Structure 1
Amino acid sequence: MMIETSTIDTVMGSTAYDKDGDKIGTVGQVYVDPDDGHAVWASVNTGFFGTSESFVPLENASFDSDGLRVQYDKAFVKDAPRIDVDGELSTEDQEALYQYYGVSSGSTGGAGYTDTADSTDRRDTVGGPGHDTSGPNTDDAMTRSEQKLNVGTQKVQTGKARLRKYVVTEQQNVTVPVQREEVRLEREPITDANVGDAVSGADLSSEEHEVTLTEERVVVNKETVPVERVRLDKDIVTEQQTVTEDVAREEIELEGDDTTARGTGRDRI
């Protein structure tokens, strides 16, 4: 299966998925064979915020409205050799990729599979200037690309909170009313009402009378009672943060010595 040349522009910027359907990242550049123009390699932004790019062969890859699907695992693609995306794959770059993915230059459709000098020169220019989907060997147009800043959020652990119960001892002062009995001496005169009790005994005698006194004493008893329930809960607080990142874009200049051409000798697009 081969990516159609007519769809290459659409492939760039699409989402790349691995063989199990897991998202790998966003397709950056597509590199083509200078001999017949078919797609050979694709660079995929795999890092956070798209800061890292990995190359993946397009052998047996497919493309539809959902995105690009390659025949390799997501983790395997992310661990591919890191190569600068500068519009050209050198011979060393391609050899490192061929060896990592276990494919030959012929199986990926890349030029230079034979030992002839002509084929070697072609392999040196795979994905080079004019071969990244357009150029002098494909058509009369040049593709201008620019980086797009994709900003997302990632949940990370910032700390932990726990509930801990411990015993605190404090003094409390409580005022309690208590009662006690005290002796009071009372005297009463002899009257007709009590004269009988007064003269009922001997005329002269020695006697003792005893009275029992009582008092209240404070008794303290402590009781443990539940007073409240305490639990941990989390609130989500939303705040605005500004992310500043450099993005690169391509610019196309028109250069020429023909002063009769429209505009000046150099126009920038």
Structure 2
Amino acid sequence: MQSDVDPRSLIGRKVFDRDGVRIGTVDEVYLDDATGEPGWAAVRTGLFSRDALVPLQPSRADGEGLHVPYERTLIRNAPDIGAGRHLSPEQELRLYRHYGLAIPSAEGGSGESAGSSGSGEPGGSGEPGEPNG
């Protein structure tokens, strides 16, 4: 996602899955502790459902909303982290694995390639995020 996007401008935006179907609204944006860049968005997927965290990279924002390259089912089945709290490295590792993303190394580059099992193990080198909302 563009790094010049103000995280506060994402809050309240509609979120669309990879097929262009609206799946919810951005409730919060989590910033990377090391860089201060937006890293994750908490998406409210329904009136009585919990927020699901989705990576903002490689998502894109435009005038219509936030477009994420994931299926609705994958997003709804994301690990329940409890939106509104600081992400621990273990929680972020679980999310990286769930979405099949490369896990960043402590030096900022890409580390091991993550699977899509959704059941991360404690430990890892992902930087935790702080909610901004």
TM tier, smaller: 0.7 to 0.9
Give the whole-Å Cα distance in 2 for the aligned partners of 1:111 and 1:43.
23
Opposite residue 25 of structure 2, the aligned amino acid is: T
The structure with the greater share of residues assigned to strand is: 2
The aligned runs of 1:80-99 (5 Å cut-off) are: 80-99=78-97
Whole-angstrom distance in 2 between the partners of 1:38 and 1:91 = 16
* Residue pairs, 1:55-134, within 5 angstroms: 55-106=53-104, 120=125, 123=127, 126-128=128-130, 132-133=131-132
- TM-score, normalised on structure 2? 0.76
Distance 2:29 2:74 in 1: 19
* 1:101-250 correspondence runs (5 A): 101-106=99-104, 120=125, 123=127, 126-128=128-130, 132-133=131-132, 145=133
One-letter code aligned to 1:34: D
**TM-score, structure 1 as length reference:** 0.40
- SS of the residue corresponding to residue 40 of structure 1 reads strand
Q: CA deviation at 1:29?
A: 1.1
Following superposition, the deviation at residue 112 of structure 1 comes to 9.1
Identical aligned pairs, as a percentage?
32
Counterpart in the other structure of 1:15 = 14
- Mapped partners of 1:43, 1:91: distance in 2: 17
**Aligned-partner residue type, residue 127 of structure 1:** G
Letter in 2 for 1:75: T
Say whether 1:54 aligns with 2:56.
Answer: no
Structure 2 unaligned spans of 5+:
112-123
Offset at residue 3 of structure 1 (A): 3.3
Measured after TM superposition, the shift of residue 104 of structure 1 is 2.2
The gaps in structure 1 that reach 5 residues or longer are 134-144, 146-269
User: CA 1:5–1:37 in structure 2 vs 1: closer, same or farther (change >3 Å)?
Assistant: farther
Q: Is the 8 A contact 1:17 1:68 kept in 2?
A: yes
1:50 Cα deviation after fit: 4.6
Instruction: String of CA shifts for 1:119-167, please: whole Å, max 9, x gaps.
Output: 95x82xx223xxx34xxxxxxxxxxx5xxxxxxxxxxxxxxxxxxxxxx
Cα RMSD (Å): 2.7
Aligned pair count reads 120
Where 2:102 maps in the other structure, the secondary structure is coil
After superposition, the Cα gap between the structure-2 partners of 1:34 and 1:5, relative to the gap in structure 1 and judged at 3 Å, is farther
Relative CO higher for 1 or 2, CA cutoff 8 Å, sep ≥ 6?
Answer: 2
Partner in structure 2 of residue 182 of structure 1? none
Q: Helix, strand or coil: the match of 1:76?
A: helix
